Each structure stands twice: as C-alpha cells, then as structure tokens.
Structure 1
Amino acid sequence: MNLWVEKGMWEPDIFKQKGTLKSYPKGTCLFMEDQPLSDVYFILAGRIRAYLLSPSGEERHLFVVGAKSLIGECNVWTTKIYPYSAAASTNIEVIRIPRAIFQETVRASPSLFEHALQSMSQKQNALLVQTQLMSFSKIEERVMFVLVQLAETFGERTGDCVFITIPFTHLELSQVVGSSRVSVSNVMLSLQEKGIVSKVNKQYLIHSMDALKLLTYDKFNV
C-alpha cells in the first residue's frame, strides 16, 4: 500500500452533476475529525493529506491522496462523523458531494460500490502500514521506505536508476513519515552524500533502486 496516492481510480464524470465544484488554496482544512460528516470530496487536481490531531495539537499523518481519489468517504456508511482531519497539501480543485447524494449514487451502481470498497480498503491498508512504520522503525528507515514507494509508483526507470516524476517538498515528506522537516532534510542530505539519491529541482533521482531496497525491504518486506 502506498501512503502517497497521486492518482486514484475514480472518474470525475460520475460526480460532476452531483456536487459543487470548489477550489481551495494550499493549507485549507476541508474538515476536522469528529465533525459531522456532511460531504465527500472528489479530487480533480492537487493533493490532500489526512491526519489526526492530539489534544495538544500535535499532528499524526495518515496518508496523502491526489487526483481521481476520494476523501471523507470512510465513515459514510457507519457513523456520521469524520474519522480524521483533511487539509490541502497543494492548491486543490475538488467536487464537494453531499453525503446523502454520494450514498445514493454509489448504491445505484454495483461497480461504483466496488470502487468505494476498494477506496476504503486502500485507506485501511495505509493505516496498517503507518502503524508498522511508526511502531517499529527509525526516521531514516521511514524516509527510505516512502522513497521506494514513490519510485515504484511514480518513477521512470533507466536500468537501476529511477527518476521520481512527482515533485515534493521536505515538509510534505516529513508529514508522511511523522517527523520534523529538519530531520527529514538531514536524512535526505545524508542519502545524497552517500550517492544514493540526487535532487533535480523539487524532484529526486534514485541512483540505485537495488541499494535503496536493500536498506528497507528486509525490515518491511515491501
């Protein structure tokens, strides 16, 4: 399971006539955990991150989703509250679909219902991966694990080298691995000094996937 889902399985035509088109700037909070579940969001462009908040305001990252993905659907069939918070990691364009209309639309089509189950299962698997990472690994291992996932999902491979085609910042990466931006920057600098990765603008080139996998696969079997 990838903790950073850049492109989902849904098509926008399904919901264009069902909801309201909205644009939000980076940092906008779409909903907070334990708030009434009023809407489901279909992402047309940009990325949205899901996270939990402690009573003291500390964030715990869950996953990131991008275009053609849903967010907010996980509790739509059970309780009437959001199980997590969601905020825009970039400028985003979404279709906001009222809860009842989303339910009616999905119930009317077996294929859409199957899509909904896949979407929720994907997020459930992400939570299991996050539990494993946060419980049993160090920051270096978490960063390398996510880099491997990004490379395998969004990479262009030439021999053993892989260019990760989506740009991301150290802040975004730190939110994914549950650490500070400074700590993630130090890990990335160390990987560059070792010749494992190099930076090209906001994107990264992995010089040896085999070498990177050897540092992560034995522990996580990814």
Structure 2
Amino acid sequence: MPEKSRLWYLENFNLFSNLDKNKMIELNKMITDKETKANEPIYFAEEPSQNIYFLKTGRVKITKYLNDGSEKILTIINPGEIFGEMAYLDEGQRTDYAVTLEPSLICAIDKNDLASFIEKNPELNLRLTKIIGLKLRSFSERIEDLIFKDSKQRIVSFIIRYAEKYGKKIGDQIFIKPFLKHSTIGELTACSRQTVNYFLTELREKKVIDFDRNKLIINNISELKKYIYK
C-alpha cells in the first residue's frame, strides 16, 4: 500500500487521530497490513494474545462459540476501530474469536511495540483507556437490556446506540449504511431473526424507520425512543 494511503488510514483511527506526521511515520513502520476475505478468522480463542488490530475497511465480528456449537456475537467492529486490545492489558490468551463479516483490510501491531510507542506518546494511554472503558460500558448496557427489557425494547436500544455511533444525520433523518443482517441484530439482542424482521417491518409500516439490504434510515428518532420509555 502506498505510504500516503497508509498514513491516511492511520490518521482516521480513533486512537491515533491528531498525532503529528513524524509520529505517524514512526508508527507506520511497526504495523503490518492484511487483506482478508469474508468469514475469515483473524484470531481464535485460547491462542496467545500478542497482537492488537485496527480495522481499515470492512467489518469484523467479535464472537464466542458455546459448547453446543452455537455462536454468540459480542460486538461488531467498524472501520477506524481497534480490536483485540485486551492484549495490551497483558491478557495471556484470547477469550473470543474475531471473524470478518465482509472483505476487510486489517492492520496489526505487536502489543510490545505499541506499549513502547505509547510510552513515548503518553497522551495515547488516556485515549486507549477511554476506548476500553467505552467498550466495557457498552457491554454493561447490553447486559442491562437482557435483564430489564423485552425483545422490542432491546432491538430499539441497539438501533439507537448503533445510530449514535455510526449514523449520519441528514435533515431530520439518520442514515446507517451499511447496516447489519437481521440475524446479526438478533444475535446482538438475544432475539430470533424472525422477531427482528417482524418488528423492523412493523416500524417501517408505521414510517418510524425505513430499511433495505444495504441501509437503515431512522425517520423519527423521538417516536422510536417511545418504545423504550413507554
């Protein structure tokens, strides 16, 4: 990949934004790039936790597999985000799997190289701590959803949080593109694919949202929130 393109991607990672060019060039020498196909594993549970990853393009799911062989998706990683970051906290082995949802471009950095770089740029330590804290808060919110909310409320909570993080507001509408498969939303909200499909169709008929295979549009965020705070 051309040097300019690599630096552009680095500047757009939430962890490295606002670093000066010389530091970016230094960091660039530490990373490796990998182009992946859809449904390709990036790392496995129980393998040594040595690298930290940054997603340049595509999407990745962080998932666990239960003893019965079923899959539970923990979160979705979008471009500009870090994953596998628990390696930085001296996690000995992975406890989950990272698998691409679509063709993706991923860069990796050895956790020791990143630690050395952060030692020379201590402002990054606070950013990384904040990123990890936000992820932990997101997991906590999902647990609360599972305990206290019914299926419709869980789906709405997920859509609103996803829109806040990845949506683009245009006029009174919020566009989320690309969106997720109904089966993936079901995994993330502990609902069946059929339940997700039925409820999203209901919201579309009421003109609260609109969606197709590539995007979801929130037409009325206030009306959507009423499903949670009713």
Question: Which TM bucket (shorter chain)?
Answer: 0.7 to 0.9
Counterpart position of 1:33: 45
What is the alpha-carbon distance in structure 2 between the residues aligned to residue 199 and residue 156 of structure 1? 15
Query: Structure 1-normalised TM-score?
Result: 0.83
1:11 to 1, 16, 19: 16
Give the conservation status (yes or no) of the 8 Å contact 2:177–2:214. no
Residues 63 and 8 (structure 1), Cα distance of their counterparts in 2 relative to 1, 3 Å cut: farther
Residues 66 and 162 (structure 1), Cα distance of their counterparts in 2 relative to 1, 3 Å cut: closer
What is the alpha-carbon distance in structure 2 between the residues aligned to residue 15 and residue 53 of structure 1? 34
Residue identity in the other structure for 1:104 = S
What is the alpha-carbon distance in structure 2 between the residues aligned to residue 167 and residue 60 of structure 1? 19
Q: Does 1:211 align with 2:223?
A: yes
Q: Structure 2 unaligned runs (5+)?
A: 1-11, 18-23
What is the alpha-carbon distance in structure 1 between the residues aligned to residue 57 and residue 149 of structure 2? 32
Give the conservation status (yes or no) of the 8 Å contact 1:11–1:68. no
Residue identity in the other structure for 2:135 = K
Give the conservation status (yes or no) of the 8 Å contact 1:48–1:64. yes
Residue identity in the other structure for 2:168 = G
Instruction: Provide the alpha-carbon RMSD of the alignment.
Output: 2.3
- Identity of paired residues, percent? 16
Instruction: Give secondary structure in 1 for the equivalent of 2:191.
Output: coil
Counterpart position of 1:181: 193
- In the TM superposition, residue 172 of structure 1 has moved relative to its aligned partner by 3.2
Give the conservation status (yes or no) of the 8 Å contact 2:73–2:184. no
Counterpart position of 2:136: 124
Q: Structure 1 unaligned runs (5+)?
A: 1-6
Counterpart position of 2:171: 158
Residues 62 and 203 (structure 1), Cα distance of their counterparts in 2 relative to 1, 3 Å cut: same
> RCO higher in 1 or 2 (8 Å CA, sep ≥ 6)?
1
Residue identity in the other structure for 1:103 = A
Counterpart position of 2:55: 43
What is the alpha-carbon distance in structure 2 between the residues aligned to residue 193 and residue 107 of structure 1? 54
Instruction: Give secondary structure in 2 for the equivalent of 1:215.
Output: coil
In terms of fraction of residues, the more strand-rich structure is 1
